[in-house]
Amino acid sequence: MSIAHAPPSAPESAASAAWAALASHARGLAAHSIAAQLEGEGPRVSRLGPASWDYGKQRLDARAWELLLAWAEAAGATQAIEAMFAGESINRSEARPALHVALRAHEEDAGDIAPEAVRDAIAERTRMYALVESLRTGERRGATDRRFTDLVHIGIGGSALGPRLVCEALDPRSADGPRVHFLDPLEDHARHELLAALDPERTLVCVASKSFGTVETLYEAEQVRAWIRAGLGEAQRGWARHFVAASAELEAVRAWGIEASQMLRTWDWVGGRYSAWSAVGFPIAWRLGAAQHGAWLEGAREVDRHLREASLAEMLPLRRALLGIYLQAFEGLDSQCVLTYDGRLRSWVPYLQQLFMESNGKCVDVEGRALPASSPASPWLWGGPGVAAQHAYLQQLHQGPRAAAVEFLAVVRDPGAAPESHRQRLTNCLAQSRALMIGRQVPGEPHRCMPGDRPSTLWLLDQLDARAIGMLMATAEHEVYLRGALLGVNSFDQWGVELGKGLAREIAPQLDAGHDEDASADSLDASTRDLLRRIRAQRDQSL
Ligand code: F6P
């Protein structure tokens, strides 16, 4: 079992002493099996609204939880929460607050959350609802005076993942509601297939980009604008009526040609991966209507209130953050696999991947000090639909040489599903969780043995509705923030994505260079130069 270095805290501080006590206890727990612990401690479940989180199949005993909470207190969990809600610049490297909680707040919360942000958020949400209503009712129409039936959402990362997750999770059965389609930038084949099925006169486009500078998103928006203009024929001067935008850079949006009345704003105090609650979530209001959008926000607000009112011991997002830290630090589980047993949550893993790994996948702390390679701030998060995984990679989770931290997610009531398939999904979910823990010994047939004693947790949602998905997303946001804060990581910047973007700009001209490379190729490494040569030669050959 790998014992991680203590998180960055002053030597001999209360936090380092608490961590040392925890590490010592963790060493002792290694000899205890999960099954025995479960018998001794009994089921452990935290409930929050329509969601229950089962964390009983874990090696931790009550004492381990006490020590984890003592460390969390000493490491500043309470102060971190205060700082976020007060609008302090917790995004230190960009000197910005992180106030996504303001996006789902009520007026009366302004006393507890940065008041100006709350008021701005409520005002902009009111504008968004009014715009959505005018578009849904046909008060606002396209350039040929046709009502919009379909929305094409163009965005990437946090400007698409959250809205897509919610629209898929809550996709109303009614086929007559306005439709929404998410375009992944640069995917020409998918774009051609989608646009071939749409009527440009009745298609609305949302360009979501906080920076309004993301190359892929703007390229995609150009392609769709060209399709809209071509489809409008003589009415193409009115193309802007088909576009709305959600951005923090309204001047850039205006320069692109979108009308002020169809611009919606987000702010620099909203991180991209935390922005679905802002105007970036336009497709949610379009698809589901203001009431469902509001219920979704309310689910998240319930978790925000929970964070303000619960004790640390009862704080579910903190408990989740602490378990993740424990598993990575003391059981060496760097890999976290999330398995969903409801197709409406097919975008849950991609959403979590950005939230966890773009937030906490850092090698320095907020002070710029190097974090140890063993830092338990961020797992490699992966996974996907559980039923399919059972016939694909669950083999390695059961019989591989190393375990992963596994989380299952299932929905108890699914009235829209056929009873038999729903029953099979639930039984499979429970069976896989149990199998990881108990394993199997087959004397004389080692190839059929499974070590077992592998931990997992299980989210059970009573039903998948707006409130539940709002709570689930907000819980994940706070879990990520607390995990980062306790370990000294800034969960709100993402400098690591900049280098690749810059190198792409450097390499691009080389793809267009003739056979004789231009001088700038010398700045490239031999591998990249050779690959460029091959691509050019292969491409020219096929011309
Ligand atoms: O490049 C990373 C990133 O900035 C993410 O943090 C963000 O969610 C995504 O790209 C899209 O950025 P924007 O909303 O500015 O287009």
Distance 23 CA to ligand 1 centre (A): 37
CB-based contact 94:492 (threshold 8 Å): yes
358 is catalytic: yes
DSSP three-state, residue 295: helix
User: Residue 340 pLDDT more than 50?
Assistant: yes
CB-based contact 476:300 (threshold 8 Å): no
User: What integer pLDDT is reported at residue 111 of this predicted model?
Assistant: 85
The pLDDT of 428-449, averaged and rounded, is 98
The pLDDT of 106-122, averaged and rounded, is 93
- The secondary structure of 478-520, three-state, reads HHHHHHHHHCCCCCCCCHHHHHHHHHHHHHHHHHHCCCCCCHH
Q: What is the pLDDT of residues 24-39, one digit of tens each?
A: 999 999 999 999 999 9
CB-based contact 161:347 (threshold 8 Å): yes
Distance 496 CA to ligand 1 centre (A): 12
Which residue in 189, 391, 447, 515 is the catalytic one? 391
The pLDDT of 174-182, averaged and rounded, is 80
Which letter does DSSP use for residue 335 in this model? E
Q: Which two tokens stand for residue 525?
A: 């490494």
User: What integer pLDDT is reported at residue 543 of this predicted model?
Assistant: 58
**Choice between 110 and 444, residue whose per-residue pLDDT is larger:** 444
The pLDDT of 500-525, averaged and rounded, is 81
CB-based contact 471:303 (threshold 8 Å): yes
Contacts of 228 (CB under 8 A, 6+ apart): 200, 203, 205, 236, 239, 242, 243
Same fold: 41-57+310-489 with 100-293: yes
Distance 12 CA to ligand 1 centre (A): 40
CB-based contact 43:57 (threshold 8 Å): no
Distance 407 CA to ligand 1 centre (A): 27
DSSP three-state, residue 265: strand
Q: Which two tokens stand for residue 526?
A: 């031999």
User: Residue 176 pLDDT more than 90?
Assistant: no
Contacts of 6 (CB under 8 A, 6+ apart): 16, 19, 20, 23
| Least confident interval from 5-19, 154-168, 231-245 | 5-19
User: Residue 542 pLDDT more than 90?
Assistant: no
| CA nearest to 344, candidates 164, 155, 180 | 164
Please give the Cα distance from 465 to 295 (Å, whole number).
9
The pLDDT of 432-459, averaged and rounded, is 98
CB-count burial class (<10 Å; 0-12, 13-18, 19+) for 186: middle
User: What integer pLDDT is reported at residue 12 of this predicted model?
Assistant: 74
Split at pLDDT 50, 70, 90, the class of 175 is low
| Least confident interval from 134-143, 225-234, 421-430, 524-533 | 524-533
Which letter does DSSP use for residue 403 in this model? -
User: Cβ of 344: how many Cβ atoms within 10 Å?
Assistant: 18
Please give the Cα distance from 70 to 22 (Å, whole number).
9
User: What integer pLDDT is reported at residue 1 of this predicted model?
Assistant: 39
The pLDDT of 28-53, averaged and rounded, is 95
CB-count burial class (<10 Å; 0-12, 13-18, 19+) for 202: middle
Which letter does DSSP use for residue 82 in this model? H
Mean confidence (pLDDT) of the chain: 95
Split at pLDDT 50, 70, 90, the class of 541 is confident
Q: What is the pLDDT of residues 356-403, one digit of tens each?
A: 999 999 999 999 999 999 999 999 999 999 999 999 999 999 999 999
Angstrom distances, CA of residue 430 to CA of 371, 402, 460: 37, 21, 11
User: What integer pLDDT is reported at residue 219 of this predicted model?
Assistant: 98
391 is catalytic: yes
User: Cβ of 389: how many Cβ atoms within 10 Å?
Assistant: 20
The pLDDT of 144-157, averaged and rounded, is 98
The pLDDT of 229-254, averaged and rounded, is 98
Which residue in 168, 220, 302, 358 is the catalytic one? 358
Please give the Cα distance from 105 to 113 (Å, whole number).
8
Q: Report the CATH number of the 496-542 domain.
A: 1.10.1390
The pLDDT of 204-211, averaged and rounded, is 98
User: What integer pLDDT is reported at residue 520 of this predicted model?
Assistant: 65
CB-count burial class (<10 Å; 0-12, 13-18, 19+) for 393: middle
234 is catalytic: no
Please give the Cα distance from 354 to 376 (Å, whole number).
17
Please give the Cα distance from 507 to 502 (Å, whole number).
9
pTM of the entire structure?
0.96
**Statement: 100-293 belongs to CATH 3.40.50.10490:** yes
CB-count burial class (<10 Å; 0-12, 13-18, 19+) for 115: middle
Instruction: Write down the residue that tokens 């087959």 correspond to.
Output: 442
The pLDDT of 159-177, averaged and rounded, is 85
**Phi, psi at residue 63, to the nearest 5°?**
-65, -40
Indicate the residue type of 11.
P
What residues are in contact with ligand 1 under a 6 Å CB criterion? 156-159, 209-211, 214, 217, 272-273, 358, 494, 497
Q: What is the pLDDT of residues 62-112, one digit of tens each?
A: 999 999 999 999 999 999 999 999 999 999 999 999 999 999 999 999 888
User: Cβ of 263: how many Cβ atoms within 10 Å?
Assistant: 20
Distance 343 CA to ligand 1 centre (A): 26
Q: Which two tokens stand for residue 33?
A: 């099996």
Q: Where are the domains of the chain?
A: 41-57+310-489, 100-293, 496-542
How many residues appear in the chain? 543
**Statement: 41-57+310-489 belongs to CATH 3.40.50.10490:** yes
CB-based contact 155:209 (threshold 8 Å): yes
User: What is the position in ligand 1's atom list of the atom closest to the CA of 275?
Assistant: 8
Please give the Cα distance from 144 to 445 (Å, whole number).
72
Pocket test for ligand 1, best of 164, 211, 352, 492 (most atoms within 8 A of CB): 211
| Least confident interval from 233-247, 293-307, 498-512 | 498-512
User: Residue 2 pLDDT more than 60?
Assistant: no
Rg (CA), the chain: 25
Which residue in 106, 314, 501, 506 is the catalytic one? 501
DSSP three-state, residue 250: helix
Which protein residue has the closest C-alpha to ligand 1 atom 6?
272
